[in-house]
Structure 1
Amino acid sequence: MSVVVVGSINQDVVARVARIPAPGETLLASSLVRTGGGKGANQAVAARRAGGAEVAFVGAVGTDAAGAALRAALEADGIDVSGVVQVDEVTGTALISVDASGENAIVVAAGANAARDSLTDAQGAVVASASVLLTQLEIPVALVRDAAAARGEGAWHVLNAAPSAPFASARDALLAATDVLIVNEHEALEAAGVEALDDAVAELARTVRGLVVTLGSRGCLVVCGDERTAVPAHVVTPVDTTGAGDTFCGVLAAALAASGRRPDAVGLDLLADAARAGAAASALAVTRPGAQDAVPTSDEVAAFRKENRP
């Protein structure tokens, strides 16, 4: 299997509002949509649909109707869901407000995503088949560490340290098991425990083979050892930024898998090229509503890159 994603799967409940409500304020939404989400599932869809990789997803859903529907949707996208287990919890749910400019505010109830802190034997076998293992932190840190330990020799571990709050408790162990770390500015500062971005980049780059710091509309910074380069963003008019970072991560992981190179062969050229592919896919995704629904196809990404320079 080229890319195995171990992570969260949620039902997203998305309300469109004129603006993000202030504390104590009630707003009327113009629409309400239920759709597939969760950082892990979003990244799996991106790696498969936009990145063109063979993908398996490892996670947990509840025994409710939402869990069955979300699992079926991944399978319909061509994703191997043999590593998705059912647990006696509600399926994870994200409550999302999206304003008129496309910005969002999200509250996540982890549910089934937090029910396990280790892989089953069957899930471990799926992870061991990966060329690239992709994880995030919407699941227990212990489960991320277990997945990293289960990957085969020569397999990549790409960690998207988001949300950043759980990272501090196991920072050293997680970084020691990570080849490529992807963080945004806020997550970089929290992960490094410093207040200046340059200091955070220097600190994190010393501990992983490759570092990608996403900078929103300013693109991203790619660092390998003492080398670094800026990858500019494509200029688009955003409709909904939900899942944009997940699309970036999934496509980057797919590009690493397609390279056929091992983690010890990572270089600035490879990682920057993977980041450029991720940046194009995420730019296209923000022009559409939703998370998984907004992920473009690989053909759409190729056409977009041909016609739109960052």
Structure 2
Amino acid sequence: MISQVNIFFQCLWIIIEILLTSCYNDTLNPEYFRKRGFFLNHTDVLHYFQNQSHTDDMVIRQLMYAYRQDCRYDRKIPNPAYDRRPFIVFEGNHRTSRKIVARRFAKVFGGSYLETPPKCLIALRGLFPVNSMERRGYFALSSYALALTVKRVWNHFPIVANGYWFEHHSYSLYKEFGQDLPPEGSFIYDWPKDLLEPDFTFYINFPDNLHYQGTERPRSSWKHVTNEVFNRLNLKNSYIVNTEDGFNSVLDEIEVVLKAKLSARFPGISYKFQTVAAFDRFSRHSRPLKAYENFYSPPQYNNSRQYLTKVL
């Protein structure tokens, strides 16, 4: 009797191993992700929206027109100069904190501040149903549109982006898998080969105990999952910054990290931030840099905003 029980459990364990191995192999297959609404490259996005089933969809037609005309997809991109400026991205698990840090960093760093979706596509954001394939495709296309903007500007100014590819990618993984993410080492954590990769990515971690009303989230929550996805992401240069000590401390830490990581690659950049406002948690008195304070502005433009208005 005992031997029969042992045989039963051994067979059960073998079946479980086979099922787990099958699932693991599936998550290493690109088609597995494409069928579930993941866009792995630019071709995937264009193919989806140019599919015959979407040719009569007015919203999709507006999206593709905006991408080709307003985002200037078909226009020639200038070759990067040998002394181009860095492209720095801010991601995170709390949008408000991420936006505050990114905007204030752009001011003290003298950079052009961009957001995802970019200006050329932002008007269409509310036209796609939540959690739909079309909305996923819209955000994937927005990443490539932002990359086009960066390539047109980085010969003149550093680029600071509030959000990029990671946010919508981690959210898609969360909606599809929850906390049972694909195994570490899966290609799904690789940066898309045809998408411009940032020179440096900062992940702004906003702990739950800093909320106005403290909260403890379950391990299955989006916040914990996106933290884990970022830890598994294969990025060349990235750093996690915690906000417990306030935004002044965050900017100080960013200054130290950039000086250590990028000074050799971009020797012409000054990594000594010129703070022009008191960056405490509730400060609303920050102001734009004057022309003489923005040490990257060429003489013919007062600031990066005027340049962006001219070229975009």
On whether the aligned pair clears a TM of 0.5, the verdict is: no
Structure of larger gyration radius: 2
TM-score, normalised with respect to structure 1: 0.31
TM-score, normalised with respect to structure 2: 0.31
Greater RCO (CA < 8 Å, at least 6 residues apart): 2
Structure showing the higher helix proportion among its residues? 2
